[in-house]
A and B are shown apart, each in its own frame.
Chain A
Amino acid sequence: MSETIHVEISENPLSVQAACDFVMDDAHGAIDTFIGAVRNHHEGQAVQGITYDVHKGLAEATFNDICLEAQGFWPKTKYYVSHFQGELDIGGISVIIAVSAAHRGDTFDACRYVIEELKKRSPIWKKEHYPSGKSEWLAGHSLNDAADADVSCCGKCGG
C-alpha cells in the first residue's frame, strides 16, 4: 500500500512539482494545491521579508494529525504538506499543500481544511522584516484555544 500522507519542515526551497508528484494517483482525477508566499505588505506596512521559526517535531506531528483528520472527513484522499523554516524574501514560498482525490470537490474542501487548521494549530512563528530595518514577531493564535474547532484564522497573523 502506498503512502497517502507526506509532511515536512524544510530549510530548502519548497517544490510544487514534488507535491504534485507525491499525491498523483491513477485513481485520482483531481489535485488541488495551496501555495503560501511572502507578500510585500501587511496591515498597510511595507514588508521586505519574513523569518519562519518552527518547532520541527511538533509541527510535523501536527501536520500529520490534520491530514489524518481530513482523511476521516474526505476518505481516499492523499496529502503533501511542506512548510519552510528560515528566512524568505518577497515572493518566497512558505508553504505548499497538495491534495488529490477522485473528484475535485473533495480536494478543494480538504485543502482548505488543512491550511486553516495548520495556521491555527502548528507551532510556527513569523517575524516580519521592514524597510526601516526593524523586525517584529506577529501576533497569532494561542494554542490554549486549539480545541475550538470552529475558530477560523483571524488574519492578524499575516495569513
Chain B
Amino acid sequence: MSEITIQIQFYGAFRKFGASQSITLASGSNVTHVKQALSETLGALVHDSVLANDNAVLPNSYVFEGDAVLSILPPVCGG
C-alpha cells in the first residue's frame, strides 16, 4: 500500500507546536485517521477541531488518495 504525506498548518492554540507538521499515512486514509494521528502529538484539543483545505472544512469521511496540505482549526472565537 502506498503512503501519502499530509502537511498540517497550525492556527490558534496549536501555534505552540510551530507553524505546521507533516505526517505520513497510508493512501486512502480519511480525516478521522488524520485526526487520530495528530492527537498523539497535539492532544485532546484535536477532537474538538476540524480539518480544512483552502476552500472548506472537510467531513470526517473525506478520503486522501494523495499528498495534501491542510489546516487544523481549533474552536473559533472571532469578533
A→B interface (CB under 8 Å): 36, 52-55, 57-59, 61, 83, 94-95, 115, 118-127, 137-144, 146, 153, 156-159
- Residue B18 lies at the interface, judged by CB distance under 8 Å to chain A: no
Give CA–CA (A58, B54) in the complex, Å: 7
Q: Which of A55, A57, A119, A146 is within 8 Å of B77, CB to CB?
A: A119
Known: A57-B54, A119-B79, A157-B79. A140 touches B11 (CB 8 A): no
8 A-B pairs closest in CB distance = A157-B77, A124-B78, A125-B12, A140-B77, A140-B75, A137-B13, A119-B79, A122-B78
With CB as the reference atom, state the residue of chain A lying closest to B52.
Answer: A58
User: Which residues in B have their C-beta under 8 angstroms from that of A53?
Assistant: 11-12, 15
Asked if B11 contacts A125 (CB within 8 A), the reply is yes
Q: Which of A61, A122, A125, A153 is within 8 Å of B74, CB to CB?
A: A125
Q: How many residues of chain B are within 8 Å of chain A by beta carbon? A: 20
User: Which residues in A have their C-beta under 8 angstroms from that of B40?
Assistant: none
Give the number of residue pairs across the A-B interface with Cβ within 8 Å: 97
Give CA–CA (A159, B79) in the complex, Å: 7
Interface hits, B45-67 → A, CB 8 Å: 48-50, 52, 54-57
Give CA–CA (A158, B77) in the complex, Å: 8
Asked if B55 contacts A124 (CB within 8 A), the reply is no
Asked if A61 contacts B55 (CB within 8 A), the reply is yes
Known: A53-B11, A53-B12. A144 touches B77 (CB 8 A): no
User: Which residues in A have their C-beta under 8 angstroms from that of B76?
Assistant: 119-125, 140-141, 143, 157
User: Which residues in A have their C-beta under 8 angstroms from that of B55?
Assistant: 57-58, 61
Give CA–CA (A119, B76) in the complex, Å: 7
Asked if B50 contacts A144 (CB within 8 A), the reply is yes
- Residue B5 lies at the interface, judged by CB distance under 8 Å to chain A: no
